[in-house]
């Protein structure tokens, strides 16, 4: 059974710092991996999608990497801003199409 783990559960950093959020999964047979952002009381917004054949995707200050063989993905946020404060979730899509979420990392960026 696929399990997705995100560590740490919470992270607090000063504004301007570069940071890395981690996501690990137990079954490397994935179709793709997505990173989402969730603001308090809101739905999820897709940030980046990495196909299983890709190693990374970039969008602005965000860069997501994927290493299927080790069962890991990282979300790199450059020059963090207070507006980046949110919960970040990763989700893997299995080859059967099922989306399995991690429990998320809650990020606080202090001014």
Partner 1 sequence: NAGVTQTPKFQVLKTGQSMTLQCAQDMNHEYMSWYRQDPGMGLRLIHYSVGAGITDQGEVPNGYNVSRSTTEDFPLRLLSAAPSQTSVYFCASSYSEGANVLTFGAGSRLTVL
| Residues near partner 1, by CB under 8 A | 4, 31-32, 34, 36, 41-46, 49, 89, 91, 93, 97-99, 101-104
Is-contact 2 26, C-beta < 8 A? yes
DSSP 57: E
CA distance 85 to 98: 28
Task: Tell me the closest approach of the beta carbon of residue 61 to partner 1, in angstroms.
Answer: 19
Task: Tell me the closest approach of the beta carbon of residue 95 to partner 1, in angstroms.
Answer: 8
Q: Cβ of 32: how many Cβ atoms within 10 Å?
A: 16
Task: Tell me the closest approach of the beta carbon of residue 78 to partner 1, in angstroms.
Answer: 22
Which is nearer to partner 1, 71 or 104 (by Cβ)?
104
């Amino acid at each position: 059974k696929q399990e997705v783990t995100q560590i740490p559960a919470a992270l607090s950093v000063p504004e301007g710092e570069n940071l890395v959020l981690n996501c690990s999964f137990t079954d490397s047979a994935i179709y793709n991996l997505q990173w989402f952002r969730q603001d308090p009381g809101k739905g999820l917004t897709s940030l980046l999608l990495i196909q299983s054949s890709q190693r990374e995707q970039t969008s602005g200050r965000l860069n997501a990497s994927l290493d299927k063989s080790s069962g890991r993905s990282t979300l790199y946020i450059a020059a963090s801003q207070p507006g980046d404060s949110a919960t970040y979730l990763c989700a893997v899509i299995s080859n059967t199409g099922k989306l399995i979420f991690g429990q998320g990392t809650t990020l606080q960026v202090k001014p």
